[in-house]
Amino acid sequence: MFSFAANLYTLMYLRLTNQRDRNTYRQAFHHLNVLFQRQLSFQNDDGSFSLFRSDWNHSSPSVWTTAYCARVFAEASFNEWENFLFIDTNVKLDNFIIINRRNI
């Protein structure tokens, strides 16, 4: 998740400082899409995220990791980038439901 967030914040910085480069954007969005798919392998059946992949069964769901993923995915859902980076709304919704459930 760290690599996803680092690439995302770098793209946001380049956008806000008007340093847009087509080749850099293309590579960054490619990496973001790959990293998003990789992050989904850490998602449990209930929608929460673990520190380790679910096939290892060494880690229980983490509220902190789920909250961090929800925040970064919400920031990545940017209208200008929706054609280049698709973050499924069901993934974000599941994250928020898990966080809400754990806070009650």
Q: 33-44, pLDDT tens digit by residue?
A: 999 999 988 888
> What's the gap between Cα 35 and its chain centre?
8
Please state, as a whole number, how many other Cβ atoms lie within 10 Å of the Cβ of residue 101.
Answer: 12
Q: Which of 1.25.60.10, 3.40.630.40, 3.40.50.2300, 1.50.10.20 would CATH assign to domain 2-103?
A: 1.50.10.20
> Which DSSP state fits 18?
T
Amino acid at 53: R
pTM over 0.85: no
Instruction: Report the pLDDT averaged over residues 2-14.
Output: 91
SS3 content of the chain, % helix, strand, coil (to 5): 65, 5, 35
- CA distance to 19, 74, 80, per residue, from 22 (Å): 10, 24, 14
Please answer whether residues 11 and 25 qualify as being in contact, where contact means their C-beta atoms are separated by less than 8 angstroms.
yes
> What's the gap between Cα 11 and its chain centre?
14
